[in-house]
Every structure is written in structure tokens, then in C-alpha cells.
Structure 1
Amino acid sequence: MGKSGAEATAVQTLRDYDAYSANFTDFLRCLLQAAAMRIIGGIAANRLLKAPKGLDVRPTPDLVRQAVFNSLGERVLDARVLELFGGTGALSLECLSRGAADAVCVELSTRHARFIEQNVIDAKLPKEKFHLRVQDVFVAMPQLASAGTTFDLILADPPYGEKNIGKRSESFAQRLLDDTDLPKLLAPGGLFILGHAKRDTLEVPPVWDERKLMKHGDSWMRFLRLA
């Protein structure tokens, strides 16, 4: 039996409220995170990072980054690092601060790229170890793969996807998991760390072996290796 007009309106209202609540929560989280972003550990510890205002960028929260890097430990030392969806460059700069050999950061927005460049300067990290590519992630990956470039650590915390109960995710996180060039970029024994929203139900393809799942509120971080 079909829903009455009143029932259908009520259901749609609840759906709209659910979407509004998720977006408003993201908005508040962005304001709080952008207010006091910093490098957490290493030679540049406590250096503040600048972030664009608004919802265009969603920095990885300090507590989440701290948990990720506590788990990585000495794996960061001398690692070749790739950060996708750079935003503020926080993940790749954290790696350099903790002793990574070098880092490539990919960010499409020229506006965000200017913030990243300033963050490198403010953090007083060696510029020659940091390489910024201002281009689409899904253009950069095949180019890097064609060049035979590999990385020990690949980190990505892309813009969050929508709730996708009952359907396959169309988020950037799912697109990264499905991408055929990304596995070519991971060195033997390397780790791919992927951030996504709790509400974004992902399907992990057989090429990936999930080693750990970190949960912090709505922020989930998956640690993956090649299967």
C-alpha cells in the first residue's frame, strides 16, 4: 500500500533533517578544526597550520592524526610519502616533521595550494623534500604510475561522501579504492591510509587487505596493504 500524502511529506522531512544535521555537523567540525590546526610531532611540533575558511576543505582532526601517527611509529622514518586531496598539507607535513625522506602532495585547488605552500614555509621544513602537484588526484595517479614512482606511505582523507545505505558509495574514498593506478604506486610492504565518514559505507576491493580500522566519532581511518 502506498504512503498517504502526509506520510510521504513526513518521511521526506525526516530525510531532509537528517541531511541537514549531517551537513551542519560537518560545518561546525570544519570551524573548530580550522581554528587551531597544528603539526603534532617531530621537529616542527606545535607549528600552526593555516586552513581556508568554510566547507571547501575539511582538515583531518588533530586527535585523528595523532592516533594515526602513533600507530605508524617509526614506519614514517625515511619513508617516501604521497598525500592525496592535500587540503592543508597536514598529513604530508606531519610525515616530514617526523623524518620522512620526502613527500608529494596532490591538491586540485590553486587556492588551497597557496595555503599549503605557506604552511611549508611556516613549519620551517626543508622545501626540497616537499613536492606539490596542483592537479586532479585522478590525473596525477596515472602520471605517477607511468613514471614508475612508488611510495612507502600513501595517505588520503578526501571530502566526505553522503550516507549511502542501500546503494554503492560514490564518494572520493570509494573511487580511490576502485582506482587501478593507486595499487601501482604502493611500494612492497607499503601502507595506504584512507579516511572517510562513518556514514559512508565502503566496499574494499580484493586488491586491498585491510589491516586496521580506526574510529573517532564520524572520522574513520582504514589501514590497507596490497593483498
Structure 2
Amino acid sequence: MRIIGGIAGGRLIKVPKGLGVRPTPDLVRQAIFNSLGDRVNGATVLELFGGSGALSLECLSRGARSAVCIEKSGRHAAFIKDNLRQSGLPAAPLQVRVQDAFAAIAQLAADGRRFDLIMADPPYGEKNLGRRSESFAQRTLDDPHLPALLAGGGLLVLGHARRDTVTLPPGWEERKALKHGDSVFRMLQRATATDPETA
């Protein structure tokens, strides 16, 4: 794996071995960031289910102002920090938090944090025909604290398996869906453009 574009483009990314990490493939990341375009430049970013930190590093390489990367495993978080060092990117803009993603969502919301871009490519769920998905992707969308983390006009990029029929809860609207192999990446915004702080 490597960083695709930006000032650190071409730098390799180490991925922890084992079944606990399923990194977002290079071709998929390239499609995502081609679609995002200039939105990344100057953005504040939150990455959930960090794994190797590839999405955070890609954002920083492409000019994001800062990134918070949430990864539950301390071992995997060490890989993210090592990947940052190897990338040549400055360390200060990236905060790696060893924390459960859902605990982090609640805590960041309570702290009043807001992000221009939230990226989540969690472990994939199983086929759920005829029943509501119980996958990490569905749980992320269903989290009541998540919408508060998006700044006005912010975007959620959520990955899940094609076999996982994820239901869009009220309050979200889909801007675009990118499909690659077994993966779907959905670009979502809050259904209202009104900022809750100014409503």
C-alpha cells in the first residue's frame, strides 16, 4: 500500500498483519479522493476505525489542516504513528487516539468538536437480506452523536460491503456512491444545510 497523491505521494504504508485490518485498497482510495477533489485541502478530518491510518495520511498529504485518527488497537495505532514518521509528513496535524470508535464519537461530540470530513471504512458486515444490518457501518450511521460532528456542509465517507444492505437513517442524504469489487463507499451529508449551532 502507498499514499496515492499529494506531497507524500508514493510513500509506502505498512499494514498490520492478521484479520483485524482490511485496508482500503489503493485504487479505491484513488477513486474516493478524485471524487473529493479540493474538498480535502484545508479540511479538518476525522477517521474512524483507523487500521493503518491510510485515509488520514492521504488527507494530510493532500493538504488537510488536521486529522484525528481513531483506532481501538494499541498495536495498530503504533503502525499508524510509524506510517506517519515514514511518510515525511509533519507530526503535529495528526492525533492518533487509541479508543473505541463509538466511545470516541460520543466524547468528541460532547467536547463540541466539528469536522469537515469524516471517513470510516470499518470491518465489513455479513449479508443481511430481510433484516436490518447490525454491521459497524450501520451502527456508525445510527449513532445519534455522529451528525453533530459534521461541520456545516461537511461530508461523511462511509465504506461497507455490497452484501451489507445499510439503511440510511432520517437526517442523512447521499451525494454519491462509489462501487469497487465487494466495496461501496457512500458520500453522505446531513439532510439539512442548516448548522445546528445557528438554527
TM-score of the aligned structures, taking structure 2 as reference length: 0.95
Q: Which residue of 2 aligns with 1:106?
A: 70
Q: Which residue of 2 aligns with 1:78?
A: 42
Q: CA deviation at 1:220?
A: 0.4
Which residue identity does 1:146 align to in structure 2? A
Partners in 1 of 2:170 and 2:89 — Cα distance?
38
Q: CA deviation at 1:207?
A: 1.1
Q: Which residue of 1 aligns with 2:91?
A: 127
Which residue identity does 1:147 align to in structure 2? D
Q: Which residue of 1 aligns with 2:194?
A: none
Task: Give the alignment partner of residue 138 of structure 1, picking from 89, 102, 107.
Answer: 102
User: After TM superposition, what 4+ stretches of structure 1 lie above 4 angstroms from structure 2?
Assistant: none
Secondary structure of the structure 1 residue equivalent to 2:38: helix
What are the superposed Cα offsets for residues 113-134 of structure 1, whole Å, 9 maximum, x if unpaired?
0100100000011100000110
- Percent identity, aligned pairs only, is 68
Q: Which residue of 1 aligns with 2:162?
A: 198
Which residue identity does 1:104 align to in structure 2? V
Secondary structure of the structure 1 residue equivalent to 2:119: strand
Q: Which residue of 1 aligns with 2:32?
A: 68
What are the superposed Cα offsets for residues 25-59 of structure 1, whole Å, 9 maximum, x if unpaired?
xxxxxxxxxxxx00000000010000111211000
Aligned residues: 191
1:183 aligns with 2:119: no
What are the superposed Cα offsets for residues 59-97 of structure 1, whole Å, 9 maximum, x if unpaired?
001111000000011100000000000000000100000
1:216 aligns with 2:189: no
Partners in 1 of 2:102 and 2:20 — Cα distance?
19
Q: Which residue of 2 aligns with 1:39?
A: 3
Q: Which residue of 1 aligns with 2:196?
A: none
Q: Which runs of 5+ in 1 are unaligned?
A: 1-36
Partners in 1 of 2:146 and 2:117 — Cα distance?
12
Partners in 1 of 2:26 and 2:86 — Cα distance?
18
The structure with higher relative contact order (CA 8 Å, sep 6+) is 2
Partners in 1 of 2:144 and 2:56 — Cα distance?
23
Task: Give the alignment partner of residue 87 of structure 1, picking from 51, 72, 81.
Answer: 51
Which residue identity does 1:90 align to in structure 2? A
Partners in 2 of 1:150 and 1:124 — Cα distance?
27
Q: Which residue of 2 aligns with 1:26?
A: none
Q: Which runs of 5+ in 2 are unaligned?
A: 192-199
Which residue identity does 2:2 align to in structure 1? R
What are the superposed Cα offsets for residues 127-177 of structure 1, whole Å, 9 maximum, x if unpaired?
000001100011111111111100000000000001111111000000011
Partners in 1 of 2:188 and 2:67 — Cα distance?
19
Secondary structure of the structure 1 residue equivalent to 2:92: helix
Q: Which residue of 2 aligns with 1:31?
A: none
Which residue identity does 1:100 align to in structure 2? A
Task: Give the alignment partner of residue 168 of structure 1, picking from 132, 137, 142.
Answer: 132
Larger Rg: 1
